[in-house]
Amino acid sequence: GCIVDGKLYPFGQIERTKNCFRCSCSPSSLSCCSLFHTPIGYDKENCKVVFNKESCNYDVVNRHNPSEECFVYSRV
């Protein structure tokens, strides 16, 4: 198997690791890609980015009122 984030997985597809990656594990290789997209286009002065492990996504929220979401117009 393969060890990802300190956990042993059997060979094959790993749908989601605890750090939000999808991986392919074989006897000769391990390749992973993220399940999330990083926000780059938002109001950086009034908003902040917070990683949400539950949804495997970045939330962009108001700096002064984190319960209020900010509009994101681009992600990478």
Write the CB contacts of 75 (distance below 8 Å, at least 6 apart in sequence): 37, 38, 39, 40, 41, 58
- Would you state the pLDDT for residue 17? 93
- Would you state the pLDDT for residue 56? 95
Mean pLDDT over the full length of the chain = 95
What are the backbone dihedrals phi and psi of residue 53, each rounded to the nearest 5 degrees, phi first?
-65, -25
Taking residues 10-23, report their average pLDDT: 95
Domains detected in the chain: 2-34 (no CATH), 39-75 (2.20.25.590)
- Would you state the pLDDT for residue 8? 95
Taking residues 46-50, report their average pLDDT: 97
Confidence of residue 38 (pLDDT cuts 50, 70, 90): very high
